[in-house]
């Protein structure tokens, strides 16, 4: 049996602000809106949907972006709160999660105060810059 992630729900009491934020963050308009009852859906790659809803609990979602460092600078310019600056999580030198790469992460806050993780897999860092070898 194959199990796929179908949908992630995120709390959004101000649907207008949340829709504008996620439209900018994802680079795409909502797939559908139903108001009432106050639901906004975004299509993510792989068929997964992001649901914004006032009654949803706050979720911690992680979104893959091409470059965490570049995306954070774009979002900072838009006035988005950066909760945790871009940093290296680990060097996947063995290719455990695909091609060998350095995994970067940062955290931002949406208009509701929800934490959103941004992750990217980028070219491996030179050994001198690797977190496991730096001082």
> Domains in the chain and their CATH numbers?
1-57 (3.30.720.120), 60-135 (3.10.180.10)
Q: Tell me the average pLDDT of the chain.
A: 91
Residues 6 or more apart whose CB falls under 8 angstroms from that of 107 comprise: 82, 83, 84, 115, 116, 117, 118
112-125 pLDDT tens trace: 999 999 999 998 76
55-88 pLDDT tens trace: 999 999 999 999 999 999 999 999 999 999 999 9
pTM attached to this predicted model: 0.85
96-109 pLDDT tens trace: 998 999 999 999 99
């Amino acid at each position: 049996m194959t199990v796929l992630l179908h949908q992630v729900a995120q709390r959004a009491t101000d649907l207008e602000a949340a829709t504008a934020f996620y439209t900018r963050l994802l680079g795409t308009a909502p797939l559908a809106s139903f108001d009432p009852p106050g639901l906004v859906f975004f299509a993510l790659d792989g068929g997964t949907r992001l649901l914004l809803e006032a009654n949803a609990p706050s979720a911690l979602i992680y979104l893959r972006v091409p470059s965490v460092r570049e995306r954070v600078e774009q979002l900072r310019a838009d006035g988005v709160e950066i909760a945790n600056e871009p940093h290296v999580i680990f060097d996947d030198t063995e290719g455990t999660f695909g091609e060998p790469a350095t995994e970067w992460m940062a955290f931002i806050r949406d208009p509701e105060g929800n934490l959103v993780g941004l992750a990217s897999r980028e070219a491996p860092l030179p050994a001198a810059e690797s977190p496991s070898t730096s001082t």
